[in-house]
Amino acid sequence: MSSAPDAGAATPYGTLPPASPPSERKPLSLPRLADMHARGEKITMLTAYDATFAAMADHAGVECLLVGDSLGMVCQGLPSTVGVTLETMRYHTESVYRGLRRVQGTAWLIADLPFGSYQESREQALRSATVLMQAGAHMVKLEGGGWTTDTVRFLVERGIPVCAHLGLTPQTVHALGGYRVQGRGDEAATLLKDQAHALQDAGAAMLVLEMVPASLAAELTAALEQCATIGIGAGRGTAGQVLVLHDMLGMNLGRMPKFVRNFMAGAPSIAEAFQAYVRAVKDGSFPDDRLHAW
Ligand code: KIV
């Protein structure tokens, strides 16, 4: 890792916010996140793909940063996340990690295992997860239920914290037939609940629930005591919320998904948009189930 200038030092390419003294900041960790879940304190998460945004989001108090493979769409201009490679994920994870280090950031750093980097075998998943952990991730995320349970257990047993992802799983968008709400109807809801419980039992400490009915997400959140649910289009009843950075800053080239709020609207700066997001998730005013959920 190359040496970095002092936190907050002006640079020709933008000034990072000054870090608050390390003594005032406590790094996020699995026990701290579990404690927040147990106490019902909402967990805030945003995607981050580069050093500056990572440092700014951390500074605003965002607790978890996800280097999502959504970067394929918002940074690389790909039509879906399917084309994102492990090398690209490593590059962006390192960038985010450096941004956090530079401001002595405390955020919990999660990196997506991209399509094709874990489906072949548990061993392939371990090799891919190792690349991302060595780039600075604290946890890896992988999509799907059922067959992934065994992989999650394999990684967790080897000391790699895992975030699972159910509901709309964008890497399988072609199999799902589009970006549609998942878990609707008794059969689909039962399958999703069974998969979520199996993932918790396998050791997944977090579970992203994407585009699932709010009632189902709330029911799962109450039932999964050892696994904090993080919702995106899953209503206000989850343990935490995540949004794609570009979406919540109103930077979307297509149609804004229903579950997004543009936090730049009315905010005088990006830093204040991040703060507004943190406040709204913490006080439960975002998401609003009448506007952002199914
Ligand atoms: O890739 C991503 O950004 C994600 C979030 C939408 C949860 O998986």
Convert the pLDDT of each residue in 207-242 to its tens digit.
999 999 999 999 999 999 999 999 999 999 999 999
Residue 70 has pLDDT above 70, yes or no: yes
Per-residue pLDDT, averaged over 45-70, amounts to: 97
Q: CA of 27: how far to CAs of 30, 31, 58, in Å?
A: 10, 11, 11
At residue 5 the predicted structure's pLDDT band, cuts being 50, 70 and 90, is: very low
Percent of the chain with pLDDT over 70: 92
Whether the Cβ atoms of residue 181 and residue 294 lie closer than 8 Å to each other? yes
User: Do the beta carbons of residue 227 and residue 236 sit within 8 Å?
Assistant: no
Q: Which atom of ligand 1 is nearest to the CA of 230?
A: 7
Cβ atoms 45, 62 nearer than 8 A: yes
HSE-CB of 273 using CA atoms within 13 angstroms: 21
Gap between the Cα atoms of 26 and 174, Å rounded: 41
Rg (alpha carbons) of the chain, rounded to whole number = 18
Helix extents (H) in 110-185: 122-134, 148-157, 173-176
* pLDDT, mean of residues 84-96: 98
Helix (H) or strand (E) holding 141: strand 139-143
Return d(Cα 271, Cα 261) in angstroms, integer: 16
Categorise residue 144: left if φ over 0, alpha if ψ from -120 to 50, beta otherwise.
left
Q: What pLDDT was estimated at residue 21? A: 53
Find the 33 Cα to ligand 1 centroid distance in Å.
19
Q: What is the mean pLDDT of residues 44-56?
A: 98
Of residues 63, 94, 143, 210, which has the active-site annotation?
A: 210
pLDDT interval class at 252 (50, 70, 90): confident
- Could you report the per-residue pLDDT of 145-197, keeping only the tens digit for each? 999 999 999 999 999 999 999 999 999 999 999 999 999 999 999 999 999 99
Pocket test for ligand 1, best of 89, 244, 252 (most atoms within 8 A of CB): 244
Q: Which residues line ligand 1 (CB under 6 A)?
A: 47, 66, 68-70, 112, 208, 210, 232, 242, 244
Handedness of CA 89, 90, 96, 97 (dihedral sign): positive
Closest approach atom of ligand 1 to CA 45: 7
Q: What was the pLDDT predicted at 2?
A: 39
Label residue 14 by pLDDT band (50, 70, 90): low
Catalytic (active site) residue 94: no
Give nearest CA residue, ligand 1 atom 6.
244
Q: Which tokens in the block code for residue 64?
A: 């978890």
* C-alpha distances out from residue 224 to 3, 43, 96, 145, Å: 42, 15, 30, 15
Q: DSSP letter string over 173-218?
A: HHHHTSS---S-SHHHHHHHHHHHHHHHHHT-SEEEEES--HHHHH
The pLDDT assigned to 7 comes to 47
| pLDDT, position 154 | 98
pLDDT tens digit string along 98-134? 999 999 999 999 999 999 999 999 999 999 999 999 9
For 264-286, what is the mean pLDDT?
96
Which protein residue has the closest C-alpha to ligand 1 atom 3?
Answer: 68
What pLDDT sits at residue 3? 41
**At residue 4, does pLDDT exceed 50?**
no
Residue with CA closest to ligand 1 atom 4: 68
Ligand 1 atom 1, closest CA: 68
